[in-house]
Amino acid sequence: MMKLRLRWITVLIYLFLSSVRLSLHTTKAGLQVNYLIHHLSLPWTMGRNILSSQ
């Protein structure tokens, strides 16, 4: 019983996140959020690449 409930919760969270992602892609504020996330993650990936290349 508990396992079934956990699966339903997981499915609901997944659906919620995917709908949020869809609405983010369609709105201008969502584009700005994606832009911010991209620019915040860019130095992180660059730093990681520099560290791994040494």
pLDDT in tens, 1-54: 788 888 999 999 999 988 877 776 677 777 787 788 878 887 777 788 888 887
pLDDT at 40 (0 to 100): 81
Provide the CA 31 distance to its chain's centre, in angstroms: 13
pLDDT in the model for residue 25: 66
- Return the pLDDT at 45: 79
Q: Give the ranges where 1-54 is alpha helix by DSSP (H).
A: 2-26, 28-53
Q: How far apart are CA 16 and CA 11, in angstroms?
A: 9
CA dihedral 3, 20, 18, 11 (to 10 degrees): 10
Domain boundaries, the chain: 28-54
Q: Using CA atoms, how far apart are residues 23 and 19, in angstroms rounded to an integer? A: 6
